[in-house]
Amino acid sequence: MSTSSDLELLSGPTASELPPAGELLGRFPLTANPEPADDETFRRCMDTLAFGTSFTDHMVRATWTPAEGWHGHRTEAFAPLTLSPAAAVLHYAQEVFEGLKAYRHADGSVWTFRPGFNAARLNASARRLALPELPEQDFVASLAALLAADSRWVPSRPGSSLYLRPFMIATEAFLGVRPAHEIEYLVIASPVGPYFPHGFEPVSIWVSESFHRAGAGGMGAAKTGGNYAASLLPQQEAAEKGFAQVCFLDATTNTALEELGGMNVFVVDDDGGLRTPSLTGTILEGGTRGAIIELLRDAGRDVREEVIQLEDLRAQIRAGTVKEMFACGTAAVITPIGRLAGADWDAIVDDGTPGEVTTSLYGELTDIQYGRRPDPHDWMYRLA
């Protein structure tokens, strides 16, 4: 398994190490959308809050070329892109993305969670995809610029937020295979409701023993669309069997738990300790994963990052020593896992209901994100 220096933990600036949003605002100058959503459309979007279906009035963008570096920083009307059919991203998938949320606090202010981490991760992903890095402050400035233009789109209903999607794509019209010479960075945003509108619902997970999302030396540690493309067919097959998500195993031995298509996984043992697969180079380092590890260690819990063998885990679930399992990521925050199954086996985790550790972690993390509890790790950054 790879042990290259790529496996160093991502560490971007914490919130107070970044300039305040007000100081970053000039970096992506605004040309206001002359036709923003009318009241009725806006109301409908904010009442529905369906994930990733409606978008705000503006988007942020910048262009990169080898000669000019990053230029053309701007905030403008959300609109379809004009792209050559020969644009490299459409053929060779040279792209990376990020996902974070803007949360409205009780006093009306708007905050995001660990943007410095996401900035550092975007750049780590960009390096793997031979894309240019974006200065971390410009990443944060791009979020602040979008929020300055579109703050009315941050919902205030409990559990809702504005999902922010920064991404970088190769736009050069060239079918040769090499890193593209023209790149576009954009940020779009979509108002979203709570992931579990009816309360915490445990999901069932299909463990894929025939498909993998990433291999040693591949792109597993990068947040890039290709990894998601690889997960779609197994995801579809699992859905046909009645499972909500797929958990992938390592591609080398096909025995160790890695992660879901877009979420990291944790196991809670009966001694109160927790385990999560170690970052081997084929797992995406989640910001939620890292925050959960810190919160658990603050609370004095033992958290181990280690190889988790599926066979051992199945035996431990059967023996009743595994008390809880959950998945985590920005979109859902924490998803309890109630059932785990594969080609010739099926296991209910404990009694299949959300456990105490899972439930209290969810409360703790979302309380910090929504400003209902102190933020001892300097995670929250004010955007507007």
Interface ranges with ligand PLP (CB under 6 A): 99, 223, 227, 259, 262-264, 284, 286-289, 329-330
Q: Which is nearer to ligand PLP, 149 or 246 (CB)?
A: 246
Sign of CA dihedral 222, 226, 232, 238: negative
Please, what is the minimum distance in Å from the beta carbon of residue 221 to ligand PLP?
9
Please, what is the minimum distance in Å from the beta carbon of residue 33 to ligand PLP?
28
Q: Which is nearer to ligand PLP, 202 or 287 (CB)?
A: 287
Here the tokens at position 272 are 């109160």
Please, what is the minimum distance in Å from the beta carbon of residue 314 to ligand PLP?
23
Q: Are 282 and 220 in contact (CB under 8 A)?
A: yes
Please, what is the minimum distance in Å from the beta carbon of residue 362 to ligand PLP?
13
Query: DSSP characters for 174-235?
Result: --SSS--S-EEEEEEEEEE--S-TTS---EEEEEESS--S--TTSSTTS--HHHHHHHHHHH
Q: Which is nearer to ligand PLP, 191 or 262 (CB)?
A: 262
Q: How far is CA 219 from CA 154, 225, 339, in A?
A: 33, 10, 28
Interatomic CA distance for residues 338 and 297, integer angstroms:
24
Here the tokens at position 236 are 């579809």
Which residues face 266 on adjacent strands?
326
Q: Which is nearer to ligand PLP, 115 or 193 (CB)?
A: 115
Q: Which is nearer to ligand PLP, 278 or 353 (CB)?
A: 278
At 238, give phi and psi (nearest 5°): -65, -40
Q: Is 229 helix (H, G, I), strand (E, B) or coil?
A: helix
Q: Which is nearer to ligand PLP, 33 or 160 (CB)?
A: 160
Q: Are 189 and 99 in contact (CB under 8 A)?
A: no
Please, what is the minimum distance in Å from the beta carbon of residue 267 to ligand PLP?
16
Q: Which is nearer to ligand PLP, 261 or 355 (CB)?
A: 261
With CA atoms as reference, report the closest residue to 377 among 300, 305, 297: 297
Q: Which is nearer to ligand PLP, 264 or 369 (CB)?
A: 264
Please, what is the minimum distance in Å from the beta carbon of residue 113 to ligand PLP?
9
At 44, give phi and psi (nearest 5°): -60, -45
Please, what is the minimum distance in Å from the beta carbon of residue 264 to ligand PLP?
5
Interatomic CA distance for residues 128 and 87, integer angstroms:
19
At 326, give phi and psi (nearest 5°): -150, 160
Please, what is the minimum distance in Å from the beta carbon of residue 288 to ligand PLP?
3
